[in-house]
Copies of this chain bind each other. A is one copy, B any other.
Amino acid sequence: MSSTLGTLYKISTFGESHSKAVGVVIDGCPAGIDLPLEVIQKQLSRRKPGQNKLTTQRKEDDEVQVLSGIENGKTLGTPICLIVNNKDQRPGDYKKMSDVPRPSHADFTYQKKFGIRASSGGGRASARETIGSVAAGAIADFILKTKFDIDIIAYVSRIEKIDLSENFSEENLSREIVDESLVRCPDKSASEKMVQRIEEIKSERDSIGGVITCVVKNVPVGLGEPVFEKLEAKLAQVMMAIPATKGFEIGSGFKGSKMKGSEHNDLFEYNENKLQTTTNNSGGIQGGISNGEEIYFKVAFKPTATIALPQDTSDFEGNKTVIEGKGRHDACVVPRAVPIVEAMAGNVILDMLLRQNARQL
């Protein structure tokens, strides 16, 4: 197991979906930060189930508690431990599945890897595990915003086959605008179709996935640690560590593989007292290091694995059986993953910023 991420802003998450609590230890958070707990709670609330008619009706309060590292609202520079108690456990809902590994879940692989697995829920493979990362990311995000004016904004850019409109512009994008949409898609016309499609698929007892786009504004030039910790490499790692993700693209992504060099190259131009690029196929990163342009990446999510439709599968012993998801699960988790993507980006970028800062002798 390796539940630790980062070199200087180092986070270690813990907790199963049905253990007493889930949480995180953050080692290396800068000291003396005035940290309102609301900044953490806000992102946790954006992540939690039961937010609106589209999401599962499991109510999870997800109230964060500080065990250490913060005193009178100020960070001490010592490890910050944050926990969220697991209240709404209802292990009964999952019981029937216990001998049948849920298709495209981690029941089978955890059982084989460890010879044991949490008796109910998804254990560490549950999306609930991300609470620790989201809490740590909210703090990173707050420091990046208040100290460096860095903005991290993610939004839903595809649900199943519904994409953003051709003419969608990211201008004036903000988390508030993103949250005006039930599905966190800031393109109103696409958003409406997405909402409708999710309701439809929910009534069909099936599920769908989608894509989240993330932009990070005002990142200074110079972040990223070649070669194995290039900025896009670390972003890819943490995004692919989010449950249900299947793909990652930086800048031009897979589309870039279809372009010619003369089209793809980002030419330099002197603007506002600095060198900028006229295009951004690089997605704000060249040679693994931020170049001062917007960082821009996409993350693909598969459809939720738990569906109410019956599926012909096999139990652990090899007997054929039919499984029907009984837990309360979202027909589409992508909107709730928006704050997770932001948090993961924040965790990586703050770590990189501290590492680069160490060089300024």
Contacts and interface: CB of A to CB of B under 8 A. Distances in A.
A346 interface: no
A155 to B, nearest CB: 15
A290 to B, nearest CB: 7
A101 B31 CA distance: 19
A68 interface: yes
Nearest to A148: B361
Given A2-B27, A15-B81, A267-B313, A254 B246 contact: yes
Contacts of A307: 261-262, 265
B31 A115 contact: yes
22 contacts: A1-B28, A5-B228, A14-B68, A14-B69, A15-B68, A31-B116, A81-B83, A101-B275, A109-B221, A109-B285, A109-B287, A124-B226, A129-B227, A201-B260, A233-B238, A235-B240, A246-B249, A246-B253, A260-B303, A262-B311, A263-B303, A360-B360
Interface stretch (A56-64, A72-80, A184-192): A72-80
A359 B14 contact: no
A286 B243 CA distance: 9
Interface in A244-300: 245-254, 256-270, 275, 277, 281-283, 285-292, 300
Contacts of A68: 14-16, 19-23
A-B interface, 9 closest residue pairs, ranked by CB to CB distance from nearest: A106-B287, A270-B318, A207-B261, A358-B358, A77-B114, A109-B289, A237-B237, A31-B114, A125-B287
A301 interface: yes
Given A117-B76, A233-B238, A210 B302 contact: no
Contact of A301 (B65, B81, B257): B257
Contacts of A12: 4, 12, 25, 27, 79
Given A105-B286, A160-B258, A32 B265 contact: no
A306 to B, nearest CB: 8
Interface string A201-240: 1000011111100000000011011111110111111111
A104 B286 contact: yes
Specify which of A30, A252, A287, A291 lies most central, judged by the most chain B CB atoms within 10 Å of its CB.
A287
Nearest to A210: B257
Specify which of A16, A31, A66, A103 lies most central, judged by the most chain B CB atoms within 10 Å of its CB.
A103
Tier of interface size on chain A: 35 or more
A195 interface: no
A318 B272 CA distance: 11
Contacts of A355: 8, 358
Given A1-B79, A4-B228, A125-B288, 4 more contacts: A12-B27, A16-B76, A76-B116, A230-B241
Contacts of A316: 275
B113 A77 contact: yes
B206 A261 contact: yes
A350 to B, nearest CB: 10
A251 B13 CA distance: 26
Given A265-B103, A305-B261, A237 B247 contact: no
B247 A256 contact: yes
A105 B253 CA distance: 16
A30 B261 contact: no
B109 A291 contact: yes
Contact of A247 (B14, B16, B257): B257
B222 A109 contact: yes
